[in-house]
Amino acid sequence: MVVVTGQNKVSGNPDDAMSSSDAEDDFQEPATPTATQAGQSLPLLPQQFPEVVPLNVGGMCFTTRLSTLRRYEDTMLAAMFSGRHYIPTDAEGRYFIDRDGTYFGDILNFLRSGELPPRERVRSVYKEAQYYSIGPLLDCLEDVQPLKGEKVRQAFLGLMPYYKDHLERIIEIAKLRAMQRKARFAKLKVCVFKEEMPITPYECPHFNSLRFERSESETKLFEHHCEVDVSFGPWEAVADVYDLLHCIVTDLSDRGITVDHQCIGVCDKHLINHYYCKRPIYEFKITWW
């Protein structure tokens, strides 16, 4: 008997007939699509997660509740474990997140009980919280040291025109001089001044009044560029020259650059009458290895 299935008719022609093996192949259950295949063809069904979720984060293993990962719905973790996205598993069946897991325990501790990391790990955990888009943790970390102090410091540096550009210039000049001399270190002169107007022994007692009583044309008589490689200032804030020097050294050190500095005098450029520049000049020594 010839079986007719659906619209397909089998003729009596031997060439058109299907073998039993061919028929079996045609009626086999389709294989479960892989993640790659699913992305190209069929959409994956919503992924189901157990109540207790085993995790592999960059080779480090963790175990937590599904509700912990979904604690805040506007986070990457909540989205990943919502069931709408496919998450691969490792050989042990743990859900794999391709991210350094060093600080993931701190992330989980916050999701579990609101616990914050020790001060020495705050900056690193903050970066992880940014990656996982955990807004409540970011807000909490920004209110503790050292991030709270960093916000104050950045507010001060916001008064400094071209601060980051000047840092880059220091690095580039020091690198070029060291390469030209084939030396371990390079020196350059940096001027750091808070006040725009010059200070001399004659001005000090009445500096503020003199500063604001000068006309625009008189002010231009005092404008000049000190003979240095880089110049920072002026600014109006309580923070002084030493505070800015600390910021410069800190930011260079954070980039792995070893720097020493010392005051080597002041700019003695004569401006007008008995007024001289008197801006402090510092020698920066950048050591490369």
8 Å CB contact between 54 and 37: no
- How many Å apart are CA 28 and CA 19, to the nearest integer? 14
- Please count the structural domains in the chain: 2
265 and 171 share one domain: yes
pLDDT of residue 225: 76
Residue 34 DSSP symbol = P
Show the domain range for 241.
158-198+224-287
pTM for this one?
0.66
Q: What is the pLDDT of residue 2?
A: 43
Q: Do 133 and 249 fall into the same domain?
A: no
Is residue 210 classed as helix, strand or coil in its secondary structure?
Answer: helix
One domain for residues 167 and 251: yes
Q: Are residues 123 and 67 in the same domain?
A: yes
Q: For residues 98 and 89, is the Cβ–Cβ distance under 8 A? A: no
Report yes or no on 206 lying in a domain.
no
Say whether both 86 and 121 belong to one domain: yes
Does 108 lie in the same domain as 77?
A: yes
Write down the pLDDT at residue 195: 75
In-domain check, residue 8: no
Of how many residues is the chain composed?
289
Q: Which helix (H) or strand (E) holds 54?
A: strand 52-57
Question: Residues 23-48, buried b or exposed e (16+ Cβ, 10 A)?
Answer: eeeeeeeeeeeeeeeeeeeeeeeeee
Q: Cα–Cα distance between 105 and 102 in angstroms, integer?
A: 7
Q: Is 84 a domain residue?
A: yes
Give domain status of residue 37, yes or no: no
**Residue where a domain stops, chosen among 81, 116, 144:** 144
Residues 84 and 125 in one domain: yes
Q: What is the pLDDT along the chain (289 residues), one digit of tens a residue?
A: 444 444 444 444 445 544 444 444 444 444 444 444 444 444 455 678 999 999 999 999 999 999 999 999 999 999 999 999 899 999 999 999 999 999 999 999 999 999 999 999 999 999 999 999 999 999 999 999 999 999 999 999 998 889 999 999 999 999 999 999 999 999 999 999 887 655 554 444 444 444 445 555 555 555 677 889 999 988 888 889 999 999 999 999 999 999 999 999 988 876 666 667 888 999 999 999 9
**CATH number of the domain that 139 lies in?**
3.30.710.10
For residue 175, tell me if it sits in a domain. Answer: yes
- pLDDT score for 271: 63
Does any domain span residue 18? no
At a CB cut-off of 8 Å and minimum separation 6, what does 75 contact? 132, 133, 134, 135
Q: How many helices (H) and strands (E) does the chain have?
A: 12, 9
Q: How far apart are CA 96 and CA 175, in angstroms?
A: 43
